[in-house]
Amino acid sequence: QQQVKQSPQSLIVQKGGISIINCAYENTAFDYFPWYQQFPGKGPALLIAIRPDVSEKKEGRFTISFNKSAKQFSLHIMDSQPGDSATYFCASLGAAGNKLTFGGGTRVLVKP
C-alpha cells in the first residue's frame, strides 16, 4: 500500500498560534489531497482538500500548501482555537479513485 507519512504525531500550541502539520507522499499518481479532522468518539470529517494543479488553498483559518516537486503538502491552522483540538489526518487519492490512503494522524491540542 502506498504510504503517506505525517508529522508531527502530536502538537501543542497556544491559543492564537499557528499549527503546522506536514505530509509526504510517494506515489506521483496521487492527484487529490484532503485533510480530515476527527474529534474523540467521532468519525473523520473532511476539512479542506487540494488538487495538484494549485500550490495553495485557503478556507477561513485553514490553509493547505502543496509542493508537487517535493511530494509534500501541509496544513496550517492560523489563529488556533481550543475548539480546533482534534486529530488531523492527511490523505491522498490516486487516479483510480477507489481508496484514500491516510497518514498516521496528528493530535493537536490548543491551550487556552
Partner 1 sequence: GAGVSQSPSNKVTEKGKDVELRCDPISGHTALYWYRQSLGQGLEFLIYFQGNSAPDKSGLPSDRFSAERTGGSVSTLTIQRTQQEDSAVYLCASSLGIVNGLGTEAFFGQGTRLTVV
Note whether 69 binds partner 1 by CB under 8 A: no
The residues, ordered by sequence, that sit 6+ positions from 98 with a Cβ below 8 Å of its Cβ are none
Helix (H, G, I), strand (E, B) or coil at 100: strand
Residue from 18, 29, 45, 54 in contact with partner 1 (CB under 8 A): 45
Minimal distance, residue 22 CB to partner 1, in Å? 14
Residue from 15, 42, 68, 111 in contact with partner 1 (CB under 8 A): 42
Minimal distance, residue 106 CB to partner 1, in Å? 10
59: its cell numbers = 478556507
77: its cell numbers = 491552522
